[in-house]
Amino acid sequence: MNKQLLLEKRPEGLPDKDTWRLVTSPIPAPNEGEVLIQHHYISLDPAMRGWMRDRKSYVPPVEIGEVMRAGAIGKVIKSNNNPNFNEGDCIVSWGGVQEYEITNGENCYKVDDALAPMPKYLGTLGMPGMTAYFGILEVGKIKEGDIVLVSGAAGAVGSLVGQIAKLKGCTVIGIAGGKQKCDYLLNELGFDAAIDYKSEDLMEALHEKCPKGIDVYFDNVGGDILNAALTKLRLNARIVICGAISQYNNKNDVVGPSNYLSLLVNRATMQGMVVLDYANNYDKAAQEMGMWMMQGKLKSREDIYEGIENFYDTFLRLFSGEKMGKLILKVI
């Protein structure tokens, strides 16, 4: 049988448990040209909250009654003459929160799970890795000597952003919630400074740890932290708008950055990004990221929970911050 998590209603604010419904149905058989994939791991990402909203965005919303959209990695267990994928192949897909999927192979790609464990393909070598890579290099346009501030710094994207910036010769300050995460940034990832927004006064900490201001701010969180970062911009600074996790569950309007006129004073740029735009260059990026991983220059953690039944409690960790690194659900 196939367990599937269907979107049951559109949440207002933080999703409650009735937002999804777990259903069980027979494992479907692939039609001509299709494959049946058994998922091993499902990726849990902040962006999923956005996909539940019924509004125009960079992808269509998940419809009520549909399987909840999510990245997944698994193995082909049956191929019905699919030209690209064979039984046993390890596949990354948008397979959704379910144990099995049928696909014609569109938007899927094959990876080698002998080279890296499967969860890495949902993290450093997957969407979060690509987001970090293109976000900080192409949108942030970092160069040696830049001072780079990153929020959500212990998260799947932020932790890679900071490490890539260090590899490129930047000074890196990370903002994260809690001592454990800040210690991780400083002691394991080699950040130059860390700010615990849960226990420190943000403005004071920024003054102390970014005394010369910042050239690049990579924003995963929005809200007060974005607004505080705006006060520290240097001339021609760049802000990368990658996400706004502090705002995703707002019942009212998003809080806009009241300090945005710092962009004018400092001739600075705030630019939004969606990783899908860089799909043509994923290969090159993943090669470089993989090389850095092998050389021990790029570290990452995956925080893995088990069982599709535990989707809800696990998903909420994205917003409570009770996780360390890339959040993943193991479903086999």
**Binding footprint of a second copy on the chain (CB under 8 A):** 56-58, 222, 227, 241-244, 247, 253-274, 277
Residue closer to a second copy (CB basis): 82 or 262: 262
- Nearer Cβ to a second copy (169/272): 272
Name the residue nearer to a second copy (CB basis): 116 or 274: 274
We find the least distance from the C-beta atom of residue 86 to a second copy, in angstroms, to be 36
Enumerate the H helices of 177-310 as residue ranges: 179-183, 202-209, 223-230, 262-265, 282-294
Please, what is the minimum distance in Å from the beta carbon of residue 28 to a second copy?
33
Smallest gap from residue 69 Cβ to a second copy (A) = 16
User: Would you say 249 or 269 has its CB closer to a second copy?
Assistant: 269
What's at 111, amino acid-wise? Answer: V
Judged by beta carbon, residue 44 or residue 47, the one nearer a second copy is: 47
How far CA 208 is from CA of 182, 195, 226, in Å, comes to 16, 10, 17
Helices 282-294, 127-134: axis angle to 10 degrees equals: 100
Q: Which of 193, 126, 168, 191 is nearest to 327 (CA)?
A: 126
**What is the C-alpha to C-alpha distance for residues 266 and 238, in angstroms, rounded to an integer?**
10
Q: One-letter amino acid identity for 122? A: L
CB 52 within 8 A of CB 7: yes
**Residue 259 CB, nearest approach to a second copy (Å):** 7
* Closer to a second copy by Cβ: residue 240 or 285: 240
Please tell me the distance from the alpha carbon of residue 168 to that of residue 174, in angstroms, as a whole number: 16
| Cβ distance to a second copy smaller for residue 24 or 258 | 258
CB 154 within 8 A of CB 324: yes
**Minimum gap (Å) between residue 238 Cβ and a second copy:** 10
Q: Are 329 and 45 in contact (CB under 8 A)?
A: no
Min dist CB 310 to a second copy, Å, is: 30
Integer CA distances (angstroms), 173 to 20, 134, 167, 292, 324, in order: 38, 19, 14, 21, 18
Taking CA atoms, 315 is separated from 7, 85, 109, 298, 320, in Å, by 14, 30, 25, 26, 9
Q: Which is nearer to a second copy, 86 or 236 (CB)?
A: 236
Whole-number Å distance between alpha carbons of 226 and 258:
10
Distance CA 106, CA 33 (A): 11
Between the two ends of the chain, the Cα-to-Cα distance in Å is 13
Query: Which C-beta is closer to a second copy: that of 35 or that of 268?
Result: 268
Q: How far is the CB of 305 from a second copy (least distance, A)?
A: 28
CB of 270 to a second copy, least distance (A): 5
Q: How far is the CB of 289 from a second copy (least distance, A)?
A: 22
